Structure 1
Amino acid sequence: MKAIVQDTYGPPAVLRLEETDRPVPGRGEVLIRVHAAGVDQGVWHLMAGMPYAVRAVFGLRAPKTRVRGMDVAGRVESVGPDVTRFRPGDEVYGSCNGSFAEYACAKEDALAPKPRNLGFAEAAAVPVSACTALKALRDSGRVQPGQKVLVLGASGGVGTFAVQLAKAFGAHVTGVCSAAKADLVRSIGADEVLDYGQTDPTDGTRRYDVILDIAGNRPVSRLRRALTARGTLVIVGGEGGGRWIGGNQRQLGALLLSPFVGHRLSTLASTEHHNELEVLTELIEAGSVTPVVDRTYPLAEVPDAIRYLREGHVRGKIVIRL
């Protein structure tokens, strides 16, 4: 089968299209014929091995898993022992290791039936980013109807889902993005859109019950100025912080500070599970949530897709079509 592989950490140039063996599903695994695969920042971190803390888990000198890609949508080709929820021919979506390939193996628990009203490309945009947004708002943020929610990074992969989910939970949503993406964020349901080039949403003139900071770099002290007295800050990813632990430095600081202040300061280490995917499927099929796909690329152009992602111009998600 054709797959995008890497044997060393580095820039997108380390990725190449190669013929490799088709994976064999193990116990509790499903073999998927991949129709589409999503691209997100997590793919870049694993490709680059940055921050260096990533390498402690995924391979010190080289990636343990050669094939990149996490989001996946496709049809079940075969199932391994003990799989009970799927059979060959089922249309599924979810996450796995190695979705930038014609075939990929995924754990049964990381998959759900594909929403009936989505094509494979749209479905592949959902799992990692939407599960992250769902857990950040529902579990960490505990968003309630009528609360004011601020989404920093509202036009990206996680952000576009976060805006829609917060609205589905009954919140008043303010999205922060560039002026060029304001219409998009408004079109997916934001009650108010702030251009970060013109307005500082953390200057203390506005207060929010929940702030979701996606891949930002603002100091925690500054974010707290925009919270209500008992407000909640949820940090998802982040930039800066150095080459060793990256944005985790800010997350660690927030966790250490949280017990000593009135605000609840929370971080997120998201994994995808069929329970969350099923919640998302219900919302998608009801029309409350719709994936935003910026553009699609063929499998051979995964390096170009990742370069475009890192340029910071993406609206929603990028998808690889097979």
Structure 2
Amino acid sequence: MKAIVCDKYGSPDVLELKEIEKPLPTENQVLVKIHSSSMNFGNLVLLKGKPFLARFVFGLTKPKYSIPGGDIAGTVEAVGKDVKLFQAGDEVFGDLSGCGWGGFAEYVTVPECALALKPTNISFEEAAATPMAGVTALQGLRDKGKIKAGQKVLIYGASGGVGTFAVQIAKSFGAEITGVCSTRNLEILRSIGADYIIDYKKEDFTQEEGVYDLILGVNGSNSIFAYKRVLKQNGNFVHVGGSESQYFQTLFLGPFISMTGGKKISNLLQRANPKDLNYVKELLETGKVKPIIDKRYKLSEVTEAFKYFQEGHAQGKVVITI
């Protein structure tokens, strides 16, 4: 089979399209013929080995997982004898980040807990765009952010992969959503139901005080003290992604601020799990959430896909068609 292989940390140019052995499922694994995959921030970490702390998970001197790609959608080709939930021919989607990655390939073997049945009302590309970004948005809003109906929620970086899911998921909880994006992305936020939109190139939202119950920081480089200023008392700021300085501020100063100021500052470490994947699946099936796809690339064009994605200006998700 064909697969994208990464044998050393570096730029997208270190990626190679190779012919490798097609995997065989063990007794508790599912063999999936992959139709589509998608790009996520974790793919960049796996490629570059940055921030350095990530290497303690992904491999200290070279990638522990040689085939990148976390999100997949495809068709079950075979199952091991102990698999209960799926059978050959099932259309599935899932997040492989907790079980070895490997989504940028024609086939992959995975434990059944990483998969869910694909909603019939969306395409393979839309399904592949969903798992990691959708579950990240859900966990950030619901688990870390403790979102409630009627709250005022700000999503910074609302037009990207996680951000577009976050706007829609927050709406499904009955919150009032303000999305922050650049001028070119205003229409996307209107199309997915943001109540208010701030163009950060024209307006500085950080000068307000005590406005939001919850802020989800998906992208950007603002100081956490700027976010703290616009939080209401007992409000939550959840760091999902952004600059390294913002990440380390949240990691090291967040706990102190949370203990002393009445406002909670925290990092989100997304954890793939079947319960949350199926929760997002129900949102897809009911039409409350629709994946937004920016660009599509072939498997042979993954290097170009990485170069585009790392610029940080994707409008929704970048999808790889296998």
TM range (shorter): over 0.9
| TM superposition shift of 1:104 | 1.1
Aligned equivalents of 1:26, 1:221: Cα separation in 2: 50
Name the SS for the 2:279 alignment partner.
Answer: helix
Residue number in structure 2 paired with 1:239: 243
Q: Using the alignment, how far apart are the partners of 1:183 and 1:88 within structure 2?
A: 41
2: distance between equivalents of 1:268 and 1:78? Answer: 35
Q: 1:105 is aligned with what amino acid?
A: T
Specify the code of the residue in structure 2 equivalent to 1:118: I
Matches for 1:195-234 after TM superposition, within 5 Å: 195-205=199-209, 207-234=211-238
Contact 2:136 2:162 survives alignment (8 Å): yes
From 174, 181, 187, the equivalent of 1:177 is 181
**135-144 vs 120-129, greater mean Cα deviation:** 135-144
Q: By how many angstroms is 1:4 displaced?
A: 0.2
Q: CA deviation at 1:287?
A: 0.9
Q: Is the 8 A contact 1:235 1:251 kept in 2?
A: no
**Is contact 1:95–1:106 with CA below 8 Å preserved after alignment?**
no
Partner Cα distance (1:200, 1:151) in 2: 14
The residue number in structure 2 matching 1:75 is 75
Contact 1:149 1:208 (8 Å CA) reproduced: yes
- Specify the alignment match of 2:170 in structure 1: 166
Q: Which residue of 2 aligns with 1:287?
A: 287
SS in 2 for 1:173: strand
* TM-score, length-scaled by structure 1: 0.95
Q: Which has the higher mean CA deviation after the structures are superposed, 174-183 or 193-202?
A: 193-202
The alignment's C-alpha RMSD in Å is 1.4
Quick one: structure 1 residues 255 and 110, their matched pair in 2 at CA, closer, same or farther if it must change by over 3 Å?
A: farther
Q: 1:27 to 1:255 in 2, by over 3 A?
A: farther
| 2:165 aligned partner, one-letter code | F
Contact kept in structure 1, 2:51 and 2:244, CA below 8 Å: no
Q: Distance in 1 between matches of 2:248 and 2:300?
A: 32
Query: What CA deviation, in whole Å up to 9, does each residue of 1:50-97 have, x standing for no partner?
Result: 111121111111111111100000011122343211111111101111
Instruction: Give how far 1:310 is off.
Output: 1.4
SS at match of 2:23: coil
**How far is the alpha carbon of 1:221 from its aligned partner?**
1.3
What CA deviation, in whole Å up to 9, does each residue of 1:21-69 have, x standing for no partner?
1123235321110000011111011001111112111111111111110
2:254 corresponding residue in structure 1? 254
In structure 2, the partner of 1:275 is 275
Partner of 1:48: 48
CA pair 206-262 structure 1, distance change in 2 beyond 3 A: closer
In the TM superposition, structure 1's runs of 4+ consecutive aligned residues that sit over 4 Å from their partners are none
How many pairs are equivalent?
A: 318
After superposing the two structures, state which structure 1 stretch, 54-63 or 111-120, moved more. Answer: 54-63
Q: Distance in 1 between matches of 2:157 and 2:248?
A: 17
| SS of alignment partner, residue 104 of structure 2 | coil
Query: Which letter maps to 2:77?
Result: E
Match of 2:303 in 1: 303
Structure 1 partner of 2:7: 7
Structure 2, unpaired ranges of 5+: none
In 2 relative to 1, CA 315–306 (structure 1 residues): closer, same or farther, beyond 3 Å? same
CA–CA separation in structure 1 for the residues paired with 2:37 and 2:309: 14
Q: Which amino acid aligns with 1:180?
A: R
Identity fraction in percent: 46
Partner-residue secondary structure (3-state), 1:202? helix
Tell me the TM-score normalised to structure 2 length. Answer: 0.95
Counterpart in the other structure of 1:22: 22
Partner letter of residue 158 of structure 2? Answer: A
Structure 2: distance between partners of 1:253 and 1:32: 43
Distance 1:293 1:268, change over 3 A: same
